[in-house]
A and B are shown apart, each in its own frame.
Chain A
Amino acid sequence: MSSTAAAGAIDHHHDSTTVTGIPNKKLLMWAFLASDCMFFGCLISTHLIYRLHPPPGTPNARDVFSIELTSFSTFILLMSSLMMALAVNSIQKGNLKSLRWSLLTTILFGLIFLGCQVYEFRNFVFEKHLTITNSILGTTFFTLTGTHGLHVLIGVIWLTIMLLYSFTGRLTEKDAIDVESMGLYWHFVDIVWIVIFTAVYLLEYI
Chain B
Amino acid sequence: MEALAKSDFIAKGETAAKPLVLWRPTAKTGLMSWLTTVDHKKIGFLYGISALFFFIFGGFEALLIRVQLAVPNNTFLTSAQYSEMFTMHGTTMIFLVVMPMGAAFFNFIMPLQIGARDVAFPRLNAFSFWTFAVGAVILNLGWFMKDGAPDAGWFGYAPLTTRHFSPTHAIDMWVMGLQLLGVASIAAALNFIVTIINMRAPGMTMMRLPVFTWMTLFTSFLIVLSFPAITIALVEIMMDRLFGTNFFEVSNGGLPILWQHLFWIFGHPEVYILILPAMGIISEILPTFSRKPLFGYPIVVFSGASIGFLGFGVWSHHMFTTGMGTTATAAFALMTMAIAVPTGVKIFNWIGTLWKGHLTMRTPMIFAIGFLWMFMIGGLSGVMHSAAPSDAEQHGSYFIVAHFHYVLIGGSLFALFSGIHYWFPLMFGRRVSEFWGKTSFWFIFIGFNVTFFPMHFLGMEGMPRRTFTYDGDMGWNLGNLTATIGAFILAIGVAIYFVTMIYTFFKGEKTTKDPWDARTLEWSLPNPPPEYNFRVIPTVHARDGWWYEKRHKAEIEKEQAEHAKEDEAHGGIHMPYQSIYPFLASVGIFIGALGVAVIDPANTAQYPGFWGPKVAVTILGGAIMFVSVLLWALEGNDGYHIHLNEDGTIKSEDHHAGH
Contacts and interface: CB of A to CB of B under 8 A. Distances in A.
Interface of A: 1, 3-5, 10, 16-20, 22, 24, 27-28, 31-32, 34-36, 38-39, 41-43, 46, 49-50, 53-55, 58, 132-133, 135-136, 138-140, 143, 161, 165, 168-170, 172, 174
Nearest to A23: B198
B19 interface: yes
Contact of A1 (B2, B4, B633): B4
Contacts of B204: 19
Interface in B572-589: none
A144 B271 CA distance: 28
A19 B198 contact: yes
Contact of B228 (A19, A20, A36, A139): A36
Contacts of A58: 253
Given A17-B6, A50-B253, A143-B245, A5 B225 contact: no
Interface stretch (B102-110, B232-240, B550-558): B232-240
A35 B190 contact: yes
A22 B7 CA distance: 18
A162 to B, nearest CB: 10
Contacts of A39: 228, 231-232
B604 interface: no
Given A38-B229, A139-B246, A170 B20 contact: yes
A43 B254 CA distance: 14
A193 B186 CA distance: 23
Interface residues on chain B, size class: 35 or more
B550 to A, nearest CB: 25
Interface in B63-84: none
Interface in B404-420: none
A49 B243 CA distance: 21
Given A35-B224, A53-B253, A53-B255, A132 B245 contact: yes
Contacts of A49: 255, 258
A174 B253 contact: no
Given A1-B8, A20-B197, A39-B232, 19 more contacts: A5-B15, A16-B5, A19-B204, A22-B198, A24-B194, A31-B190, A35-B227, A35-B228, A38-B226, A39-B231, A42-B228, A46-B262, A50-B255, A53-B255, A54-B253, A58-B253, A139-B252, A161-B633, A168-B17
9 contacts: A4-B15, A28-B190, A34-B224, A34-B225, A36-B228, A38-B229, A133-B245, A135-B252, A170-B17
A17 B199 CA distance: 9
B630 interface: yes
Interface of B: 2, 4-8, 11-12, 15-17, 19-20, 120-121, 186, 190-191, 193-194, 197-200, 204, 224-229, 231-233, 235-236, 239, 243-247, 252-255, 258, 262, 265, 630, 633-634
B198 A24 contact: yes
A135 B227 CA distance: 28
Given A27-B194, A35-B186, A46 B253 contact: no
A132 B265 CA distance: 26
A28 B121 contact: yes
A44 to B, nearest CB: 10
A10 B634 CA distance: 23
B247 A46 contact: yes
Nearest to B7: A1
Contacts of B233: 42
A122 to B, nearest CB: 16
B656 to A, nearest CB: 17
A136 B246 contact: yes
Contacts of A20: 197-198
Contacts of A31: 190, 193-194, 224
B467 to A, nearest CB: 32
Contacts of A50: 253-255, 258
A87 B74 CA distance: 70
Contacts of B634: 165
Contacts of A161: 630, 633
A55 B252 CA distance: 7
Nearest to B226: A38
B15 A19 contact: no
Given A17-B6, A27-B197, A133-B243, A43 B17 contact: no
B570 to A, nearest CB: 10
B246 A18 contact: no
Contacts of A132: 239, 243-245
Given A24-B121, A170-B20, A38 B228 contact: yes
A150 B218 CA distance: 30
A186 to B, nearest CB: 16
Chain A to chain B: the 7 pairs with minimum beta-carbon distance, closest first: A38-B228, A55-B253, A136-B253, A42-B232, A18-B198, A1-B11, A39-B228
